[in-house]
């Protein structure tokens, strides 16, 4: 391959820089606005690029507010419990259908069909209602407990594990559960980390299930509050926040955005080294 010309490298650098700036600039505005003082917000018209007199008042209000604290607790519970349960279900099904079984192909086709056809909102709502899950946190967990795409990636990864290794363990008297937990899972840390990240991001960012199934504001996750008070333009009053005097609405809204983003931003760097390896290997094997 020919070495790229200096002109091409310069154009590519400018293009990449422009894309990076278009991503980072809105994020900088959100963070800066959340730290801005009342006077600077009024002078700037609601959005600040660089806070001249930064203050933590908006964050102090959020973390002392019962509404926001409960929402963060609900989101954390749904994300942790939902991710663990979803991983358990996906791992068990992927391992079972990665082995030669009699009913494996019909079940696999049924799972693949879920990638093309959804059950519909009304039947899903009626099912949740009949199971008496309305206004419970389980209505935020159980509908997202299984994803066909994640299953296919994990099954493909399991099928890439040498069958001779599994057969040797079976000859030594190991059961399927022993093979799964002692051999398959230690060899599959990359794909488990990636699928776990997929599920965690999905549970943390989900607000639609809460919008459908949750009427009790005490069970709202942080993303539903983000949608209600940021996207729809509603304002958080002092009574809703549980404080005597609330900071400016724009500062509170941007602080909610930052609080909703930070947990995933903190988790992703620890799983980044597994990301490409898990997805690529799970996609090409089998």
Mean pLDDT for 5-17 is 87
Q: At what angle do helices 249-284 and 57-64 cross, to 10 degrees?
A: 80
What's residue 253's pLDDT? 81
CA distance 101 to 252: 55
The structure tokens 């099904």 sit at 93
The C-alpha atoms of residue 230 and residue 261 are separated, in whole angstroms, by: 14
Q: For 148-169, write each residue's pLDDT tens digit.
A: 888 988 888 888 888 888 888 8
191-203 mean pLDDT: 88
Least confident of 43-57, 64-78, 178-192: 43-57
Residue given tokens 């070495």 in the structure block: 3
pLDDT at 199: 92
Q: How far apart are CA 247 and CA 101, in angstroms?
A: 61
Q: How confident is the model at residue 141 (pLDDT cuts 50, 70, 90)?
A: very high
Tokens, residue 198: 């997929």
Angstrom distances, CA of residue 39 to CA of 47, 60, 183, 247, 254: 12, 18, 61, 11, 16
Question: How far is it, in rounded angstroms, from Cα 202 to Cα 145?
Answer: 10
Domains and CATH numbers, the chain: 57-284 (1.10.3720.10)
Look at residue 99 and give its three-state secondary structure. Answer: coil
Which of 119, 140, 32, 29 has the alpha carbon at shortest distance from 76?
Answer: 140
Q: Which of 256, 231, 260 is nearest to 246 (CA)?
A: 256
The pLDDT score that the predictor gives to residue 203 is 92
User: Helices marked H in the chain — which ranges?
Assistant: 6-35, 38-44, 57-64, 66-98, 104-113, 121-130, 138-141, 148-159, 163-171, 176-179, 189-205, 208-213, 222-226, 238-241, 249-284
Res. 282 pLDDT band, cuts 50 70 90: very low
Provide the percentage of residues in the chain whose pLDDT is more than 70. 86
Does the pLDDT of residue 210 top 80, yes or no?
yes
Quick one: which of 76, 62, 29 has its CA closest to 256? 62
Q: Where residue 261 falls among pLDDT bands split at 50, 70, 90? A: confident
Residue 79 has what pLDDT? 92
- 276 pLDDT more than 70: no
**Mean of per-residue pLDDT scores for the chain:** 81
CA distance 82 to 202: 10
Residue recorded with tokens 């597994």 = 274
């Amino acid at each position: 391959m020919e070495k790229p010309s200096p002109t091409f490298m310069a154009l590519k650098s400018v293009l990449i820089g422009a894309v990076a700036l278009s991503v980072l600039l809105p994020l900088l505005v959100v963070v800066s606005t959340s730290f801005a003082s009342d006077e600077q917000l009024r002078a700037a018209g609601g959005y600040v690029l660089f806070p001249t007199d930064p203050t933590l008042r908006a964050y102090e209000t959020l973390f002392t507010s019962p509404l926001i604290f409960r929402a963060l607790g609900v989101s954390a519970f749904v994300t942790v419990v939902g991710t663990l349960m979803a991983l358990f279900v996906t791992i068990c099904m992927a391992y079972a259908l990665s082995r030669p079984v009699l009913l494996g192909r019909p079940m696999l086709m049924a799972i693949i069909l879920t990638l093309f056809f959804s059950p519909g909102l009304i039947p899903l709502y009626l099912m949740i209602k009949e199971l008496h899950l309305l206004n419970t946190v389980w209505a935020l967990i159980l509908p997202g407990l299984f994803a066909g795409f994640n299953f296919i990636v994990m099954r493909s990864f399991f099928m890439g594990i040498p069958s001779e290794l599994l057969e040797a363990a079976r000859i030594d008297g190991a059961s399927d559960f022993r093979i799964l937990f002692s051999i398959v899972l230690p060899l599959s840390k990359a794909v488990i980390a990636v699928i776990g990240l997929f599920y965690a991001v999905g549970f943390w960012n989900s607000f639609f299930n809460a919008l459908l199934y949750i009427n009790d504001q005490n069970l709202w996750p942080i993303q539903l509050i983000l949608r209600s008070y940021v996207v729809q333009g509603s304002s958080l009053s002092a009574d809703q926040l549980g404080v005597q005097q609330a900071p400016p609405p724009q500062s509170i809204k941007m602080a909610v955005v930052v609080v909703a983003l930070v947990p995933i931003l903190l988790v992703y760097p620890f799983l980044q080294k597994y990301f490409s390896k898990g997805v690529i290997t799970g996609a090409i094997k089998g």
